[in-house]
A and B are shown apart, each in its own frame.
Chain A
Amino acid sequence: MWRYIVKRLLWMVVIVVCVALLIFTVLWFVPGDPAQIALGSEATAADLEAYRELLGLNDPFLVQMGRFMRDTFLRLDFGISYSFKVPVIEEFAIRLPRTFLLGAFSLVLNMVIGIPLGILAANHRNSVIDRGLLVFAMVFSSMPQFFFALVLVVVFALELNLLPPFGIATWKHWIIPVLAASLSGIAQIARHTRASVLETIRADFVTTARAKGLEERKVIYRHMLPNALIPVISDLGMHLSMIVGGSVVIETVFSFPGVGLYMLYGINARDYPVVRGCVLILAVFSAFVMLVVDLVYAFLDPRIKAQYVNYAAKSGGKAK
């Protein structure tokens, strides 16, 4: 198993480096002069030129890229924001935990609500519960995130006055954003779980388990569910990716001061270091969680696990 983890970690390093190169290259093409933005419209041509020289913006592409890679990975320095004049890493220290929590809560909610709902629907196939859940899932997975977020604000904050609409002052402020970020994922996972369970219910090995005389409870929890949930778990990475992407939208709607909102400031201000840092950190964050999900997945599915674990050693002989 360790071999697999190490291999995956190394691969993640490759991914992160490539993503960094990609981000730098894409943003190279962004129009607009950072010096102008940093110094304002009154700056003289000489000031601008001096500033460009200071930041190394006149150097060739590869030199700049090299410097960016060195600063980012060797010194963990994402540069200083042109417009805020604050090191990007300092902003991250404050903002990243918020975005991380938002994402983590959503992912957990996706699983702990989506999966049981899917199982429930499958167990009551074609009943009122099932149809109700299907309609719910269909509608919510078709709803643009911002739309749902705004509906939540209208209903819970403006009409019912139960929860505060914007900001993150108390834990209550988190409820609507987390809900808004997770609902479409919950709906999709519920649908996926239902389909997977219904497919597994018909699997031969479930019939085998019944033919063994196992109680229905054991048939379900020991044989059916572990197999039915494997494809669902393997898809969690994709959901996480959606959550991270969606966090930008959610943070915008709720003025939630996380990395996503910071990135949007950066984009509007043509503030390269901010944008680069934000995209990179979000990509690394999602790559990391995907790695965790993959490891869990590998642990659950012996077909993958077996490639890396030497059973022969365990059972004292040579395995096939």
Chain B
Amino acid sequence: MNETLLTIKNLHVQYTSGGQIVRAVNGVDIELKKGETLGLVGETGAGKTTISKAILRILPDPPAKVTCGEVWLNDVNLFDLPAREMLEVRGNKIAMIFQDPMTALNPTMTVGNQIAEVILQHNDISNKEAMKRAASMLEMVGIPAMRYMEYPHQFSGGMKQRVVIAMALACNPELILADEPTTALDVTIQAQVLEMMINLKQKMNTSMILITHDLGVVAQTCDRVAVIYAGQIVESGTKEEIFNNPLHPYTIGLFGALPKLNDDSKRLSPILGLPPDPTNLPEGCSFNPRCPHAFEDCTVGQTPEMIEVTPGHFVRCILFRKESVHHGISRSQTS
């Protein structure tokens, strides 16, 4: 259980668009243990999807480019693998669940065959056998096998996402990258799909990186949480640590933007301002223009280092530097 499955070291990704360089991911380090679920939380455009596509090396190049970094799966650096061997990782060892089930399935291919295709690709079995397994995958995600020959447009959104999940799980991957798997679904369907994912994941003892901006989903599914802002992880720790004792002003802001039942306040407190322009990130801490606690030191030099505040709980904020702990803020002060 404590074996490390995936290690990402210092990942940088940038997009070139119309002569401008968009720095989408700026030095992300992630460690994931076997069987663990990591929640990657952040606003739209924070670089979450880019990270997952970078792991699978399916970023469109150009315009995207991994400028620096390593991704270790067990003891193999995926970035060093020849393209041929990378094919065997995709869909087989690492599978991805995409955000929008409406567009993630090929409209001209039956759902069954889309699942059978990935099975056939990674297993040395006959067509017939693959189709049989695909049918049982459909059953597993709660779709009657007789719908094997139907096309995606004959399925509802939730059903499509089940197909996508079946496709991802078809080869028993060691790691699932779930990119906002429930965002495009109705709330009631969201819960169903999420529950199913958790069950299947536990059954197969798969690790998962769950990308989301929905803290409710995180609370329901994750073991650990990494909060990402402007292409950097700004806080990471166990779910309990992050939820009970958020440290980074951005994380606190995220919780402040959630409606609470047991709170008297009439208004939500949103995070002011907009996510930074990734072609022109602010100096110092990327969050400083929006941070209620920002002071001069925050606006100069490099982005702050990660600081381990309590064991396993990291935060990227100079308020928590050893010498300035007295600046420390706690949730009670701000909310």
Residues of A bordering B, CB below 8 Å? 202-205, 207-215, 222-223, 226-227, 230, 300-303, 306, 311, 314-317, 319-320
Known contacts A203-B103, A204-B100, A204-B104; A213/B149 CB under 8 A: no
Q: Which residue of B lies closest to A312 (CB)?
A: B146
Q: How far is the CA of A214 from the CA of B92 in the complex (A)?
A: 11
Type the 1/0 row for B102-121, where 1 means its CB is closer than 8 Å to any CB of A. 01111111100000011001
Q: Which residues of B contact A301 (CB under 8 A)?
A: 107-108
Among the listed stretches B83-91, B126-134, B261-269, which one makes contact with chain A, having 4 or more residues with CB under 8 Å of it? B83-91
B149→A211 contact, CB < 8 A = no
In this complex, the member of B87, B108, B122 whose beta carbon has the largest number of chain A beta carbons within 10 angstroms is: B108
B130-185 with Cβ < 8 A to chain A: 144, 146-151, 153-155, 164, 167
B153→A302 contact, CB < 8 A = yes
Q: A204-B104, A208-B104, A317-B147 are in contact. List 5 more A-B contacts (CB 8 A).
A: A204-B98, A205-B107, A213-B91, A301-B108, A320-B154
Q: How far is the CA of A209 from the CA of B106 in the complex (A)?
A: 8
Which of A210, A226, A319 is B90 in contact with, Cβ under 8 Å? Answer: A210
A212→B149 contact, CB < 8 A = no
Q: Which residues of B contact A315 (CB under 8 A)?
A: 146-150
A207→B58 contact, CB < 8 A = yes
Is B317 interfacial (CB-CB < 8 Å)? no
Q: Which residue of A lies closest to B92 (CB)?
A: A213
Is B6 interfacial (CB-CB < 8 Å)? no
Q: Which residues of A contact B96 (CB under 8 A)?
A: 208, 211
Q: List 21 A-B contacts (CB under 8 A).
A: A202-B60, A205-B103, A205-B105, A205-B106, A207-B104, A208-B96, A208-B104, A208-B106, A209-B106, A211-B95, A212-B90, A213-B87, A213-B88, A213-B118, A222-B117, A300-B108, A301-B108, A303-B107, A303-B153, A315-B149, A320-B150
Q: Which residues of A contact B24 (CB under 8 A)?
A: none
Known contacts A214-B117, A227-B108; A319/B147 CB under 8 A: yes
A210→B58 contact, CB < 8 A = yes
B149→A311 contact, CB < 8 A = yes
B149→A314 contact, CB < 8 A = yes
A211→B106 contact, CB < 8 A = no
B150→A311 contact, CB < 8 A = yes
Q: Please count how many residues in chain B sit with their CB below 8 Å of the partner chain's CB atoms.
A: 38
Is B56 interfacial (CB-CB < 8 Å)? yes
Q: How far is the CA of A166 from the CA of B224 in the complex (A)?
A: 80
Q: Which residues of A contact B148 (CB under 8 A)?
A: 315
Q: Which residues of B contact A300 (CB under 8 A)?
A: 108
Q: How far is the CA of A314 from the CA of B154 in the complex (A)?
A: 15
Q: Which residue of B lies closest to A230 (CB)?
A: B108
* Shortest Cβ gap from B44 to chain A (Å): 16
- Which 8 residue pairs spanning A and B have beta carbons closest together? A213-B90, A213-B91, A212-B91, A204-B103, A317-B146, A302-B151, A212-B118, A315-B146
Q: Which residue of A lies closest to B53 (CB)?
A: A207
Q: Which residues of B contact A306 (CB under 8 A)?
A: 150-151, 153-154
Q: Which residues of A contact B155 (CB under 8 A)?
A: 320
B108→A208 contact, CB < 8 A = no
* Shortest Cβ gap from A295 to chain B (Å): 16
Q: How far is the CA of A208 from the CA of B99 in the complex (A)?
A: 11
Q: How far is the CA of A9 from the CA of B181 in the complex (A)?
A: 45
B107→A213 contact, CB < 8 A = no
A212→B117 contact, CB < 8 A = yes
Q: Which residues of B contact A317 (CB under 8 A)?
A: 144, 146-147
B108→A226 contact, CB < 8 A = yes
Q: How far is the CA of A207 from the CA of B103 in the complex (A)?
A: 10
